[in-house]
């Protein structure tokens, strides 16, 4: 009876070890096959050269990525100073002239700095006025209600274009 129990334990251990050996052999065979496929047609010296080229290529790629990140950050920062927001408002300031021929054009950068150009059209002719804008407000001159509306339109238009860009990314 004691011998029979020990024989069962030994048999169980043998089955477990055999299973473990089969599993390890499978993974070893798979790894060796993968290694042979990678090193096919190369000798030891060639393999070292290949690995060295890969490492150098990685270093060059890392340097290039760092350079591109810096350039992208610089372009993003510079982009804030370019005209990004445009608002156009057509209106009729005089009763005797119809057709909304007068207009206000707001041109702003990413920091809400820029200019507001106002064209007032009358029977006698057209007059142009320009006002400097800083942080979305008139710098040297007070902005009219129409000019403020053109600034609001410029900001709204940017929001719409940002939504279109964000939707394309998704």
pTM of the model: 0.55
Mean pLDDT (whole number) for 57-67 = 96
The helix, strand and coil proportions of the chain, stated in percent and rounded to the nearest 5, come to 60, 20, 20
Q: What is the pLDDT of residue 26?
A: 97
How many residues can be counted in the chain?
170
CA distances to 36, 129, 135 from 86, in Å: 62, 17, 15
Mean pLDDT for the chain overall? 85
Q: 167 vs 108, which has greater pLDDT?
A: 108
Cα–Cα separations (whole angstroms), residue 79 to 108, 132, 167: 12, 19, 21
Residue 73, pLDDT above cutoff 70: yes
- The answer to whether 170 touches 150, Cβ cutoff 8 Å, is no
């Amino acid at each position: 009876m004691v011998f029979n129990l020990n024989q069962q334990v030994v048999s169980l251990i043998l089955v477990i070890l055999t299973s473990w050996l089969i599993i390890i052999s499978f993974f070893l065979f798979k790894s060796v096959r993968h290694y042979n496929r990678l090193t096919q047609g190369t000798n030891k010296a060639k393999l070292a050269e290949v690995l060295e080229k890969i490492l150098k290529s990685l270093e060059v790629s890392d340097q290039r990525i760092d350079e591109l990140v810096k350039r992208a950050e610089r372009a993003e920062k510079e982009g804030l100073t370019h005209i990004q927001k445009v608002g156009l408002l057509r209106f009729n300031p005089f009763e005797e002239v119809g057709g909304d021929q007068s207009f206000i054009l707001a041109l702003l950068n990413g920091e809400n700095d820029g200019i507001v150009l106002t064209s007032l059209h009358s029977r006698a002719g057209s007059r142009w006025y320009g006002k400097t804008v800083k942080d979305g407000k008139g710098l040297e001159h007070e902005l009219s209600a129409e000019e403020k509306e053109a600034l609001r339109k410029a900001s709204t238009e940017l929001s719409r274009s940002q939504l279109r860009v964000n939707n394309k990314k998704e």
